[in-house]
């Protein structure tokens, strides 16, 4: 952008530099993550980075819908499961990877349209119940569907080099984070936060709440579906009870809530914290990841309502 445009541009609601800083930091971290293998990082470190990116992508997808609108989704695990099954079924039918990923994302968006069209017109908990119902329904359905392999699941026939999923997930997490930041400061972001604040007041100024909620849910589902799809390339095998487990839905929701809901950087903090703690406690309590998540959430909800990130930021500002 030229000097002249900057001068003429009216003041923006958020400092341009805030968003710019976040974009630069995101790109830098993603580049570092992608470079780690070349820098000699062990397989263990790579796995931790990969899972942080996976949970960040999912958490950021959730943040775009539920963080901005206040309508809580418990279906992000199922949306990512749909993406996972979509990509594996398409690739096993010899579709190219790009087209298969598009199928995966498209299927998740379609699912979000079905959930959203039936429940986003209503206020309150209708959407949350619809997402919970959908999450359970998908698990039951996929166990029964023959083309989804039934309870035994599916295996990705093609053998892919490990770096594809690794790089793909880091890129996706970066895109989701930057996407959130851009949406948050856009006109759309301001208007959905108005809906979250007071839906009647939002209607009184001409905001068509149902439509905006549905748009965000579609964007959110696209990201969740792609995250699930890339993760399927990583694991190369799918079991309905894993791909559609409610655990993933809880992680998608907890990551932003812990780190800082409705902020761009919060989910990154939440994902790192969750993966770090889970690893640290792996030896003591190998299958306690949900307990860890629950405890973290409890502490945050009790002591720092906006999440760890914003609370820290406030403390730092106050101590200056």
Match 């309870």 to its residue by tokens.
151
Q: Which stretch binds another protein (CB under 8 A): 4-12, 77-85, 232-240, 284-292?
A: 4-12
Tell me which stretch binds another protein (CB under 8 A): 54-62, 133-141, 204-212, 230-238. 204-212
Compare residues 111 and 209 and give the one whose CB is closer to another protein.
209
Contacts of 159 (CB under 8 A, 6+ apart): 236
Phi first, then psi: give them for residue 237, nearest 5 degrees: -140, 145
Give dist(CA 132, CA 116) in Å, integer: 13
Beta carbon of residue 210, minimum distance to another protein (angstroms, whole number): 9
CB 193 within 8 A of CB 42: no
Distances (CA, A) of 298 to 36, 165, 255, 285, 292: 34, 33, 13, 19, 10
Candidate residues 2, 38, 200, 287; the one interacting with another protein per rule CB under 8 A? 200
> Which ranges of the chain does DSSP label H, i.e. alpha helix?
3-8, 16-35, 43-62, 68-69, 76-92, 97-119, 126-144, 162-185, 187-197, 199-204, 209-235, 240-243, 246-259, 266-280, 289-303, 308-319
- Using rule CB under 8 A, residue 117 touches another protein: no
Residue 204 engages another protein in binding (rule: CB under 8 A): yes
Q: Tell me which residues in 212-271 interact with another protein (CB under 8 A).
A: 262
Q: Name the segment binding another protein (CB under 8 A); options: 111-119, 190-198, 230-238, 279-287.
A: 190-198
Nearest approach, Cβ of 37 to another protein (angstroms)?
Answer: 41
Q: What is the DSSP letter of 72?
A: -
Residue 201 near another protein by CB under 8 A: yes
The distance of closest approach from Cβ of residue 262 to another protein in the complex, given in angstroms and rounded to an integer, is 8
Q: Is 208 among the residues that bind another protein (CB under 8 A)?
A: yes
68 binds another protein (CB under 8 A): no
Nearest approach, Cβ of 6 to another protein (angstroms)?
12
Residue 43 binding another protein, by CB under 8 A: no
**Residue 155 carries which DSSP code?**
E
Binding mask 149-188 for another protein (x = CB under 8 A): --------------------------------------x-
Helix, strand or coil, per DSSP, at residue 186: coil
Binding site for another protein (CB under 8 A): 9-13, 187, 190-191, 193-194, 196-198, 200-209, 262
């Amino acid at each position: 952008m030229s000097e002249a445009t900057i001068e003429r541009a009216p003041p923006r609601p958020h400092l341009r530099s805030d968003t710019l800083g976040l974009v630069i930091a995101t790109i830098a971290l993603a580049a570092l993550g992608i470079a780690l293998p070349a820098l000699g990082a062990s397989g263990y470190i790579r796995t931790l980075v990969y899972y942080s990116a996976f949970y960040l992508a999912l958490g950021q997808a959730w943040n775009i819908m539920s963080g901005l609108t206040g309508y809580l989704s418990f279906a992000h695990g199922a949306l990512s499961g749909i993406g996972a099954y979509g990509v594996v079924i398409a690739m096993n039918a010899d579709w190219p990877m790009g087209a298969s990923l598009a199928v995966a994302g498209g299927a998740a968006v379609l699912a979000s349209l079905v959930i959203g069209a039936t429940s986003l017109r209503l206020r309150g908990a209708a959407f949350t119940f619809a997402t919970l119902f959908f999450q359970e329904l998908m698990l039951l359905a996929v166990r029964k569907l023959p083309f989804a392999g039934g309870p035994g699941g599916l295996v990705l026939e093609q053998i892919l080099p490990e770096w594809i999923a690794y790089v793909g997930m880091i890129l996706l997490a970066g895109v989701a984070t930057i996407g959130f930041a851009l949406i948050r400061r856009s006109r759309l972001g301001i208007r959905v936060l108005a809906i979250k604040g007071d839906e009647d007041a939002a209607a009184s100024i001409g905001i068509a709440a149902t439509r905006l909620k549905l748009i965000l849910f579609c964007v959110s589902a696209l990201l969740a579906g792609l995250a699930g799809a890339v993760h399927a390339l990583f694991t190369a095998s799918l079991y309905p009870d894993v791909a559609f487990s409610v655990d993933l839905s809880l992680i998608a929701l907890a990551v932003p809530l812990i780190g800082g809901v409705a902020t761009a950087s919060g989910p990154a903090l939440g994902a790192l914290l969750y993966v770090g703690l889970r690893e640290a406690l792996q030896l003591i309590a190998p299958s306690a990841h949900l307990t860890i998540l629950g405890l973290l959430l409890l502490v945050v909800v009790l002591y720092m309502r906006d999440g760890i990130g914003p609370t820290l930021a406030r403390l730092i500002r106050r101590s200056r």
